[in-house]
Structure 1
């Protein structure tokens, strides 16, 4: 019988480290696969944007976080402090310090990526102000925690113990609470608003429901963010155990956020890679000029001309006949869009999705 088993006041000899490693292995694999497919399709379609660049940076920092968590596990991360040597505990906290920096940096880039992705769907002035404000708040709160982690001790690193002069630990902990609270709020807003936008888009109900379900996956990550905040209430004298539990929730929040953002555009990615539509009826139509035209990536590089469309409707509006109109012109015609006689003509073009998909595959 060991000496530890004779101590009734000791915590159980348990280890959450293997659970953390299994969760990490599964999540990082799915995140890398979905991100790679997304970036490949975006580059091949020539629509690589800021949202994709930010996602790549977020994934890079998440991989760096994975590396330091593997190092932590080698020193016994996930065990209670009493079962670790002083050196093991110090090394776990040192790598944990780096892991927190990578975590908050990755979360910031992830939220910014989601913001840019949503701006592809709707980019009105009021909506831009809202999304950019949320993005700025995310950068400020997560960046603030990183600055606190770097500045709270001299020399840097709370793991140094009495050899370092540090601020009170509650400064760091409360800043993390504030960051999590703002992050959860941002997740709710960025997950719910696109649902209303997509629901108004003219597309088959089956496609609409599937897209909304994919976008709502971000709400699952929000729930894990709340769980992470709750897990930080554990004892600060047993960080090898407390922070390992918090790391499980934070990794679920981070990687599910990455996966959800990639799956939100999975339909266009899958269609490009496998060369076929996956969630649409064969006779579905999208009306150019409707909300779907700005929401669907398939319209981003289309150049519409009347002589290339089989179906079109023309309406005439003469209510402004006494008003002298301006004479705007299209990029591919010398004919003014508003005739000189004051009669305004509007043409509506309808394109079949399979025709657009065929054009994209032959570009």
Structure 2
């Protein structure tokens, strides 16, 4: 059956967003497997979220091919139940897909934090998203009796007041919006404290705060929830469907941009290497990692290059111990053996040992995940 009404628009927009999701999924997968060689659980979850979006799009396409996007009275009565059923299945993939996308961001943030308090602060909204998504799906499918009434209201004796579905939709939507804002602001609490170059911190934090755009689409979707109970559901729900799809798509794009940063840096470094003989080539085994020394000073002396394993074995010296000064140039991390020991303790004496260790670990994690390659100031 040919698509009519808003059906072609819905299908066209959703497949366009699906292509964007697949594109960023491919970029992220390549970055984490080839560039930084750090493919993890958050990447698997991101791929699952992409698959969820594709399934959402497929079922909405099937629904639109029958009658979704048209007024109820324009569709043959026999076509209404399957149209609603396929759209309901698609919305179920959307319910879980959006929550899974938030999980991908949360699991990525867990890679960067060091303290237990920060980890708990990340797990709480993730658990909240999981619980509300399960409840929303349950209220959606079991809010009518019999269950067939979800997609066929013409069944004699059916009614859909078993569970307060609309309030649950608002709770679910509000939870996702809160999570978007939460994860957009949370990185500022720990990344800003790292002894990284200010420009690097601002670039990383702004890219990780793009979730506010996903929250904006979430607010728009919540404003249209009442359409889900409209007698003219197949036409009235078009905006809800599109805003839900846009929210998940923008969420995945916003998650993909900061994670793909090492790929962008690799490309820029390669372009710069053609214009200057002194430019440093990107190396697959020794990534450019920039750390601030414990003294707060930098050098560019020639020495032994440090790779990630060397960094992991390094530690901040205790008070009274001789310290090894560390710094970076474009090529990597070097040990400075020419500085006097008196320069090593100008700033860090006032910090506790645990705070210094946490900061060092945070810099190492940020350097590994974001390919921070410039000197710290």
Q: Provide the TM-score with structure 2 as the length reference.
A: 0.71
User: Which residue of the partner structure matches residue 375 of structure 2?
Assistant: none
Cα distance change of structure 1 residues 119 and 276 upon mapping to structure 2, 3 Å threshold = farther
Q: Which of 347, 351, 355 pairs up with 2:324? A: 347
User: Which residue of the partner structure matches residue 201 of structure 2?
Assistant: 208
Q: Structure 1 stretches of 5 or more lacking a match?
A: 1-13, 291-300, 319-343
3-state SS of paired residue (1:351): strand
Cα distance change of structure 1 residues 277 and 175 upon mapping to structure 2, 3 Å threshold = farther
Which deviates further from its counterpart, 345-354 or 18-27? 345-354
3-state SS of paired residue (1:350): strand
3-state SS of paired residue (1:346): coil
Q: Does 1:287 align with 2:291?
A: yes
User: Which residue of the partner structure matches residue 303 of structure 1?
Assistant: 309
Return the offset for 1:87.
Answer: 2.6
Write the mapping of 1:5-16 to structure 2, written as runs, cut at 5 A: 15-16=5-6
3-state SS of paired residue (2:111): helix
Q: Is the contact between residue 149 and residue 160 of structure 2 (CA under 8 Å) also seen in structure 1?
A: no
Return the offset for 1:166.
Answer: 4.7
Deviation by residue 1:208-266 (Cα, 9 ceiling, x = unmatched): 33333322221011011010011122361011112111011111101100111011222
Cα distance change of structure 1 residues 97 and 315 upon mapping to structure 2, 3 Å threshold = closer
Return the offset for 1:16.
Answer: 2.8
Q: Does 1:221 align with 2:223?
A: no
User: Which residue of the partner structure matches residue 36 of structure 1?
Assistant: 26
Q: How many residues align structurally?
A: 303
Return the offset for 1:97.
Answer: 0.9
User: Which residue of the partner structure matches residue 71 of structure 1?
Assistant: 62
Q: Which of 189, 199, 204 pairs up with 2:182? A: 189
Which deviates further from its counterpart, 185-194 or 200-209? 200-209
Q: Distance in 2 between matches of 1:132 and 1:59?
A: 22
Q: Is the contact between residue 285 and residue 352 of structure 1 (CA under 8 Å) also seen in structure 2?
A: no
User: Which residue of the partner structure matches residue 293 of structure 1?
Assistant: none
Deviation by residue 1:147-188 (Cα, 9 ceiling, x = unmatched): 223333434450122438454176222211110011111111
Q: Which of 226, 230, 233 pairs up with 2:223? A: 230
Q: Is the contact between residue 10 and residue 238 of structure 2 (CA under 8 Å) also seen in structure 1?
A: yes
Q: Which of 92, 102, 107 pairs up with 1:116? A: 107
Return the offset for 1:100.
Answer: 1.5
User: Which residue of the partner structure matches residue 158 of structure 1?
Assistant: 150
Q: Distance in 2 between matches of 1:169 and 1:77?
A: 26
Cα distance change of structure 1 residues 271 and 174 upon mapping to structure 2, 3 Å threshold = same
Q: Distance in 2 between matches of 1:349 and 1:156?
A: 67
Q: Distance in 1 between matches of 2:40 and 2:15?
A: 28
Cα distance change of structure 1 residues 36 and 221 upon mapping to structure 2, 3 Å threshold = same
Q: Is the contact between residue 142 and residue 163 of structure 2 (CA under 8 Å) also seen in structure 1?
A: no
User: Which residue of the partner structure matches residue 244 of structure 2?
Assistant: 250
Return the offset for 1:271.
Answer: 3.6
Q: Does 1:144 align with 2:127?
A: no
Cα distance change of structure 1 residues 116 and 276 upon mapping to structure 2, 3 Å threshold = farther
3-state SS of paired residue (2:290): strand
Q: Distance in 2 between matches of 1:33 and 1:349?
A: 39
Q: Which of 37, 46, 50 pairs up with 1:46? A: 37
Deviation by residue 1:268-311 (Cα, 9 ceiling, x = unmatched): 13345776489xxx799721688xxxxxxxxxx701279x99xx
Q: Provide the TM-score with structure 1 as the length reference.
A: 0.74
Q: Is the contact between residue 31 and residue 260 of structure 2 (CA under 8 Å) also seen in structure 1?
A: no
Deviation by residue 1:53-76 (Cα, 9 ceiling, x = unmatched): 111111111110010011121123
